Structure 1
Amino acid sequence: MQQNPNALPDLTVVVPCYNERDNVRPLVDLLDKALAGIRWNVLFVDDDSPDGTAKEVRALARERGDVRLLHRVGRRGLAGACIEGILSSVSPVVAVMDGDLQHDETKLADMFAVLRDRSEVDLVIGSRHVEGGSASGGLSALREWGSDLATKLARRLLKISASDPMSGFFMIRRERFNEVVTDLQTQGFKILADMLAASRGRWNVAEVGYEFRTRQHGESKMDTAITLEFLGLILSRLTGGIFPIRLILFLMVGLSGVAVQLVAVRFALWATGFPFYIAQSFGVWVAMTSNFALNNILTYRDRMLRGLAWFRGLLSFYAVCFIGALANVGVAELLYETWPNWAVASFAGAVVGALWNFVASALVTWRMR
């Protein structure tokens, strides 16, 4: 049932989505039933889905005043979508839930009642790990094991007491979100864990159990890259946010490049009998190519290059790394002449080269379009 479009909502439901066209109308129908008696609206934050999700939301928004769309172009990622969606809301309370129908919308009214009746509560989490909660219906055995492991890591390393910091289903007072928003990472998929870590234990948190359901339409977004992004979030939080997730992922890829280079050099020496300097040059070229490919699908997955742009990006990455290598050697040599400690000089050169490669590749190879 459509509500009075002139009444300000008491609750905004933010739904980050990518390729969820077939779930848009079913979700709004379910929200109609679940939130009867509450003034609410729903904001779909779409990352320019190729399946026409934004088009479907626009069509529905023309039919009802309580459906809104935030269409993001050139930006991808659940955390960033949630942050932009919450900041775009005008209601005092905001909920976040996935657009795949796996979160139980019938629990939204219970979560809202907690915030309405208990003024001391700042955040309500839809939890799979308290009474009435379960993840067995929506996760495979392997994914459930991985989720449990991630939950234990987050709780232990980030000092989070909530039972389900990996949940993507929660409701928060807008004023509390405003307290931590500038400290949040826009990259990654586990925004709740980031919010809880950023709150530093100041929030009063309540939990409502829910059963994680089986996806009805579309495909899961969970993959290896998301797992590595979560590890990057943990490391970023452990360093006090000094190192952003993207830099940590870039450095991880760089470390993998060292291994790739060693294997390539060994192969060249064994298979061709080339002089060492040629084998070394071959190894560096293979490592740079490997680093570009991995950064494209992991570190800069939200700006991923495809088609001809991939090859142009590769050439620009070669150029960036060449200048980074010159900076590496130059800084190391300058420091060694001042303080003749080869290990310190070499390390300092490597740091300068890595930072140059990170900043320059972000501005040139994977610049925002």
Structure 2
Amino acid sequence: MQHPTVDCVMSAGATHRPGATPELSVIIPTFNERGNVRAMTEALERALSGIRFEMVFVDDDSTDGTRDILAELADTRGNLRVIHRVGRRGLATAVTEGMLSTTSPYLAVIDADLQHDERVLPEMLALLKSNEADLVVGSRYTAGGGIGDWDAGRARVSTAATRLARLITCADLTDPMSGFFAISRPAFYSAVRNLSGQGYKILLDIAASTRQPLRIREVAYHFRARQTGESKLDALIVWEYLLLLADKLVGHIVPARFLSFMFIGGLGVFVHMGVLSIVLALGVSPFMWAQATATATAMIFNFFVNNTLTYRDRRLRGFFRVSRGLATFMLVCSVGAIANVGIADYMFSDFHYNWFSAGLAGIAVGVVWNYAATSVFTWRSR
């Protein structure tokens, strides 16, 4: 049986009558937000009273019963839809899919955790409808905004990320890291085919992907504390953000995922040499076995780090899938090692390249093979 990737759940009354198409679609990505979605729905209904709008919850296969609550809510509301994604994960792609599932002229994005202030949505919509802006951003850093109870460390990280955003967009934004914004459909369509889909910062992705500069306005809001559930932000978000920057800077030449794969492979070289030196220092094994031990250790290291960072959106979980993935990764990389040695020897012996050039050629072939083959056999997209 074919594995499902998207399952849309809609209330029986969710099909709008002719002439009743919503003017605003609010996209709400969710993952394990059972304690927040009911309050989020009620808050949006209060804030957008008198406006034709729909709520599109895009759920990345929550395990806490979030969709059960959403099904109950959809049963009594004609403007609430749920997109259930299986086998895919990530806020940026969830938002994109949610937007593409709608037909309304205006789109908004808000988190389900109630940290964004839904009460400014009418002002955002008014700016779009009056044609004063193509994109309206809820900003924590413009006059009148605030970051709430953030500690100094989180504030510094946010400030640094905001400065780095200038590398990929010239858009006049005080808060390019915001996850709270509204956009017209033409503006979204001008960016959608160039989106990288990397990580959590979909606003920055949009701002850096449009064919023409957007007219941008900012609306101040105060960031609120999460009431229930756990934050999805962790140290790995920093890595995903760096991949987004890399994708926008050089993604048209080299895929950002490939750069991540190469970087981790470079770390694996240090692991290899460290293990090799330790085993040889112990004097318990001949060189051949020490080299084999170091090689296997480096492969295991590379697999688990790539599983966590490079392929976070396809991360293998569970004993069986991780074991199978490790086996295919080591098999593929073993073939890559053979290709590396063979190409290097061929370039050195038959074409008389110097050892350095021959070695680089072998490494290049091995890395490209490992990346391409593991994408297919180890972390294939479902």
| TM-score (normalised: structure 1) | 0.94
Which residue of structure 2 lines up, in the alignment, with residue 44 of structure 1? 57
Distance 1:144 1:363, change over 3 A: same
For 2:29, the equivalent position in structure 1 comes to 16
Aligned to 1:296: 307
Instruction: Point out the more displaced range, 221-230 or 65-74.
Output: 221-230
C-alpha deviation, 1:120, in angstroms = 4.7
1:19 Cα offset (Å): 0.6
Aligned to 2:342: 330
Q: Residue 205 of structure 1: CA displacement?
A: 0.9
- For the aligned residues, what is the CA RMSD? 1.9
Which of 167, 176, 180 pairs up with 1:165? 176
Q: Does 1:346 align with 2:345?
A: no
Helix, strand or coil at the partner of 2:313: helix
Q: Would the aligned equivalents of 1:160 and 1:201 in 2 still touch at CA under 8 Å?
A: no
Cα deviations across residues 144-178 of structure 1 (Å, max 9, x unaligned)? 21111111111245444311111111111111111
Q: Is the 8 A contact 1:185 1:245 kept in 2?
A: no
Structure 1 pair 45–3 and aligned structure 2 pair: CA distance change class (3 A): closer
Give the residue type in structure 2 aligned to 1:327: A
Decide whether the 8 Å contact of 2:148 with 2:225 is kept in 1.
Answer: no
Are 2:105 and 1:95 aligned? no
Matched residue SS, 2:359: helix
Q: Partner of 2:238 in structure 1?
A: 227
Deviation string 1:310-365 (CA, Å, 9 cap, x unpaired) is 11111111101011112222232333332513222222221221121112111111
- 2:256 counterpart of 1:245: yes
Q: Contact conserved, 1:27 with 1:101, CA < 8 A, in 2?
A: yes
**Match in the other structure for 1:308:** 320
Gaps of 5+ in 2: 1-12
Q: Which residue of 2 aligns with 1:121?
A: 133
Counterpart of 2:209 in structure 1 is 198
Q: How far does residue 245 in structure 1 lie from its aligned partner after superposition?
A: 3.2
User: Which secondary structure state, in structure 2, belongs to the residue aligned with residue 278 of structure 1?
Assistant: helix
CA distance in 2, matches of 1:202, 1:159: 9
Which secondary structure does the structure 2 equivalent of 1:280 belong to? Answer: helix
Give 1:149-164 correspondences, 5 Å limit.
149-156=160-167, 158-164=169-175
1:63 is the counterpart of 2:76: yes
| Paired residues, number | 366
Counterparts of 1:85 and 1:272, CA distance in 2? 60
Aligned-partner residue type, residue 326 of structure 2: L
User: 1:193 and 1:263, CA in 2 relative to 1: closer, same or farther beyond 3 A?
Assistant: same
**Residue 260 (1) aligns with residue 271 (2):** yes
- Cα–Cα, structure 1 residues 260 and 4, in superposed 2: closer, same or farther, change >3 Å? closer
**1:276 partnered with 2:276:** no
Residue number in structure 1 paired with 2:144: 132
State the SS of the aligned residue for 1:94: strand
Between stretches 255-264 and 166-175, larger displacement belongs to 255-264
Larger helix proportion, structure 1 or 2? Answer: 1
Normalising by structure 2, we get a TM-score of 0.91
2:137 match: secondary structure:
strand
Residues 154, 160 of structure 1: 8 Å contact kept? no
Return the letter of the residue paired with 2:112: G
Q: 1:56 to 1:247 in 2, by over 3 A?
A: farther
Of 333-342 and 356-365, more deviation after overlay is shown by 333-342
Q: Percent identity?
A: 46
| C-alpha distance in 1 between matches for 2:84 and 2:310 | 23
1:200/1:368 CA distance change after superposition, 3 Å:
closer
The DSSP-based 3-state class of the residue aligned with 1:124 is strand
* C-alpha contact (below 8 Å) 2:114/2:226 kept by paired residues: yes
How far did residue 127 of structure 1 move? 0.8
- Which residue is 2:373 aligned to? 360
Instruction: Give the C-alpha shift of residue 55 in structure 1.
Output: 2.2
What is the CA deviation profile of residues 242-299 of structure 1, one whole-angstrom value per residue up to 9, with x for unaligned ones? 3333223222221221121121111111223433332222111111001111111222
Task: Please give the alpha-carbon distance, in whole angstroms, between the structure 2 residues aligned to 1:160 and 1:280.
Answer: 52
Letter in 2 for 1:209: A
Aligned partners of 1:272 and 1:179: how far apart in 2? 63
Q: Which segments of 5 or more consecutive residues in structure 1 lack a partner in the other structure?
A: none
- Checking the alignment, whether the CA contact within 8 Å between 1:155 and 1:162 is kept in structure 2 is no
Q: 1:160 to 1:282 in 2, by over 3 A?
A: farther
Q: In terms of mean alpha carbon deviation, does 22-31 or 247-256 score higher?
A: 247-256
Structure 1, 39-48 or 227-236: larger mean CA deviation: 227-236
Alpha-carbon distance in 1 for matches of 2:323, 2:229? 31
